[in-house]
């Protein structure tokens, strides 16, 4: 037979006692115990770069833009280079897409960047994914259940066949940096020089 727990009355001195607690408190008054880092994170708005304190300060829920730029440039420098063969292009670390040579050439002519220095990546297509009927209806099927009706299965087969034949839904930055043909670089250089001659 287990021992009976002692009875402690609500107003008895042993029911509760006043203690002094030491805790890190954020600027908005929240307690974090011994976690100084979390208290400072929640109470601060900005912080210094841990890699280089000379960099501009940045918001605590962000990251150092200068360090990010260095990391991204290192990533671009390490990308394998491939001759551009007309595929869609996207500006590295940007959202400027080029789907034809004319729009690319116009952009390069108006840009301040030297054509040989422009950072472009060859895009990869994003195709629609095929649909697994059992995944699609997972909330409606019994546990470990299957679809036995041939009509919806045939419809999914037809839909998936059309999906396999579809065009890309969109394009994303791929793994290759683009090397532009020298002919485009020459055209852009000539067009810029001619524009400078016309400008008074």
| Three-class secondary structure of residue 141 per DSSP | coil
How far is the CA of 112 from the CAs of 31, 89, 177, 182, 199, in angstroms? 52, 19, 20, 18, 16
**What values do phi and psi take at 105, rounded to 5?**
-60, -45
pLDDT at 198: 61
CA distance 108 to 200: 22
Strand 81-83 versus strand 170-179 pairing type:
parallel
pLDDT at 199: 55
pLDDT at 176: 96
pLDDT at 23: 94
pLDDT at 200: 54
Walking along the chain (200 residues) 10 residues at a time, the average pLDDT comes out as 83 90 92 94 93 93 92 94 95 90 91 86 94 79 75 88 93 94 89 73
First-last CA distance in the chain: 105
The full set of domain ranges for the chain reads 13-44, 76-198
Contact residues for 126 (Cβ-Cβ < 8 A; gap 6+): 168, 169, 170, 171, 172
| Three-class secondary structure of residue 171 per DSSP | strand
């Amino acid at each position: 037979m287990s021992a009976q727990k002692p009875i402690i009355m609500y107003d008895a001195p042993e029911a509760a006692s006043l203690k002094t607690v030491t805790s890190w408190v954020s600027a908005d008054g929240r307690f974090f115990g011994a976690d100084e880092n979390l208290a400072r994170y929640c109470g601060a708005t900005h912080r210094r770069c841990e890699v280089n304190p000379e960099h501009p300060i940045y918001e605590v829920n962000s990251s150092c833009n200068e360090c990010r730029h260095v990391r991204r440039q290192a990533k671009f420098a390490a990308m394998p280079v491939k001759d551009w063969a007309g595929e869609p292009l996207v500006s590295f670390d940007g959202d400027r897409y080029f789907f034809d040579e004319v729009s690319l050439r116009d952009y390069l002519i108006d840009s301040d960047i030297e054509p040989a220095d422009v950072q472009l990546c060859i895009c990869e297509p994003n195709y629609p994914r095929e649909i697994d009927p059992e995944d699609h209806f997972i909330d409606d099927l019994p546990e470990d259940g299957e679809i036995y009706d041939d009509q919806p299965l045939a419809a999914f087969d037809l839909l998936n066949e059309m999906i396999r034949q579809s065009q890309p839904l969109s394009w994303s930055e791929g793994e290759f940096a683009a090397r532009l043909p020298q002919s485009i670089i020459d055209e852009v250089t000539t067009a810029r020089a001619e524009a400078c001659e016309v400008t008074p």
